[in-house]
A = this chain, B = another copy of it.
């Protein structure tokens, strides 16, 4: 397993003092980074946060593998009903390991596909139901709370669509001891897997939430966890030269807070990593977007993550990244050795704009585009850095996702915010329950009416 972090284009020597870091600026903060490591380690040892343990929970991993082996062959489609952290990890794995967004592979009992219903959108739901056969579909419903409105609404439709034998084709992933989904699973005897209490949705990719859909669609989850375990060992090293996650956390923290870069562009040069970019987008936004520090000081912290796809977005976003406000750090994600380079035929057509590419490969072109864009950004004083995965397989992917989770946790410590809650999403959930007339939310329905009255008065 080999992952590198190329930080040179974050340096002042490359992008100037106003936008880049001097060696001394980095050195001065090494103590803060080591404190962040120690602080997070303590929280994990106290049992507050569980994601670092996930790749080592061999019994849970084996149980998932055995269940997947047992049911294999009885379905051509795995339909995941879940939203946010209950969908993004599974999508990141599927996109990276089974073929790139947006191509859908052919499916059959030996190679089932994954269909994800992660929205209350009727068009998405109806079109997906039409594309699946209820007799060849295994439904995985995932909700840690057991009562997420979008998931419940879609699940009720999917359950009816499955017909009278629905219970035989449903698996649940939820909390061990709370929630209506758990109660229904028990009553209807769904096979059920649990998300540990101390693992939040956006850190749950290596729990059953990510591993079960992956195992059901043929991913080698042992190797995935092996890669993540290796990265976890590295992430506990109190040594910035070895500890990639801590080093990248420190550099991202400094460039963000000291050089005023409120936006991070997560910029994979790979359609296979597009799912992971959306998974990262949740991890970064929801963990670090916080009104207050742990001490209660109001800070309104948060770096806005933007997912961009190379080389495609060179023809869409790079104009802005080059010439617009210098308010971004660009973090490229590349794959050094793609499985198939994509040979361009040798045929020369006598056309200057075509012939120089003959006999080369798409992989070489994509790599040139990425390095060219990094160089161009650098020459415009735009800081950028690159994560380089040697290959894109289970082991590297597991390691990379775990790296990004540790990086996020360390950032939370550096900012002194709680990276593991999400209070800010509660109000819109409560208004929704009020609008949908859920019992107990009448007060929010009334508050919403007052808001509408104020809007009417403003409209005049």
Contact of A375 among B88, B126, B368, B431 (CB under 8 A): B431
- If A100-B123, A314-B425 touch, does A302 touch B324 (CB 8 Å cutoff)? yes
Cβ of A180: which chain B residues have Cβ within 8 Å of it?
351-354
Interface status of A248 (Cβ within 8 A of chain B): no
Cβ of A430: which chain B residues have Cβ within 8 Å of it?
372
Interface string of A110-125 (1 = CB under 8 A from B): 0000011011111111
Q: Which of A59-67, A209-217, A218-226, A286-294 lies at the binding interface? A: A286-294
Q: In the complex, how many angstroms separate the beta carbon of A223 from the nearest chain B beta carbon?
A: 19
Cβ of A424: which chain B residues have Cβ within 8 Å of it?
318-323, 380
**CA separation between A17 and B99, bound complex, in Å?**
49
Cβ of A300: which chain B residues have Cβ within 8 Å of it?
323-326
Cβ of A416: which chain B residues have Cβ within 8 Å of it?
none
Q: Which of A123, A302, A339 has the most CB of B within 10 A?
A: A123
Interface status of A71 (Cβ within 8 A of chain B): no
Q: In the complex, how many angstroms separate the beta carbon of A178 from the nearest chain B beta carbon?
A: 11
Q: Which of A28-36, A239-247, A395-403, A452-460 lies at the binding interface? A: A452-460
B324 in contact with A425 (CB, 8 Å): no
B263 in contact with A179 (CB, 8 Å): no
Interface status of A312 (Cβ within 8 A of chain B): yes
- If A271-B123, A340-B123, A428-B369 touch, does A364 touch B436 (CB 8 Å cutoff)? yes
B102 in contact with A101 (CB, 8 Å): yes
18 further A-B contacts with Cβ under 8 Å, apart from A120-B365, A149-B369, are A119-B309, A121-B269, A123-B340, A149-B365, A150-B311, A160-B345, A180-B352, A183-B351, A285-B324, A289-B323, A301-B324, A302-B320, A314-B429, A315-B425, A319-B422, A319-B424, A320-B424, A372-B430
A319 in contact with B454 (CB, 8 Å): no
Interface status of A338 (Cβ within 8 A of chain B): yes
B423 in contact with A121 (CB, 8 Å): no
In the complex, which residues 418-460 of chain A have their Cβ closer than 8 Å to any Cβ of chain B?
422-425, 427-439, 448, 451, 454-455, 457-459
Closest to A358 in B: B156
Q: Which of A147, A184, A262, A322 has the most CB of B within 10 A?
A: A322
Number of interface residues of A (CB under 8 A): 149
A-B residue pairs in contact (CB < 8 Å), sample of 15: A102-B116, A120-B311, A121-B272, A122-B363, A154-B362, A156-B344, A262-B325, A288-B324, A289-B320, A289-B321, A290-B323, A300-B323, A304-B325, A319-B422, A323-B423
**CA separation between A457 and B23, bound complex, in Å?**
13
B100 in contact with A362 (CB, 8 Å): no
Q: In the complex, how many angstroms separate the beta carbon of A387 from the nearest chain B beta carbon?
A: 17
Interface status of A170 (Cβ within 8 A of chain B): no
B428 in contact with A372 (CB, 8 Å): yes
Closest to A351 in B: B180
Cβ of A152: which chain B residues have Cβ within 8 Å of it?
353-354, 357
Cβ of A301: which chain B residues have Cβ within 8 Å of it?
324-325
Interface status of A24 (Cβ within 8 A of chain B): no
- If A127-B105, A306-B304 touch, does A121 touch B427 (CB 8 Å cutoff)? no
**CA separation between A9 and B451, bound complex, in Å?**
10
A371 in contact with B435 (CB, 8 Å): yes
Q: Which of A127, A360, A377, A380 has the most CB of B within 10 A?
A: A127
Interface status of A412 (Cβ within 8 A of chain B): no
Q: Which of A116, A183, A306, A372 has the most CB of B within 10 A?
A: A372
Cβ of A369: which chain B residues have Cβ within 8 Å of it?
120, 149-150, 428, 432
Q: In the complex, how many angstroms separate the beta carbon of A327 from the nearest chain B beta carbon?
A: 6
A356 in contact with B11 (CB, 8 Å): no
Closest to A150 in B: B311
The 7 closest A-B pairs by CB, nearest first: A84-B315, A302-B324, A122-B342, A289-B320, A147-B353, A372-B431, A322-B424
Cβ of A262: which chain B residues have Cβ within 8 Å of it?
262, 325, 327
A362 in contact with B122 (CB, 8 Å): yes
Q: In the complex, how many angstroms separate the beta carbon of A368 from the nearest chain B beta carbon?
A: 4
B84 in contact with A99 (CB, 8 Å): no
Interface status of A189 (Cβ within 8 A of chain B): no
**CA separation between A364 and B458, bound complex, in Å?**
26
Interface status of A13 (Cβ within 8 A of chain B): yes
- If A368-B436, A436-B365 touch, does A282 touch B156 (CB 8 Å cutoff)? no
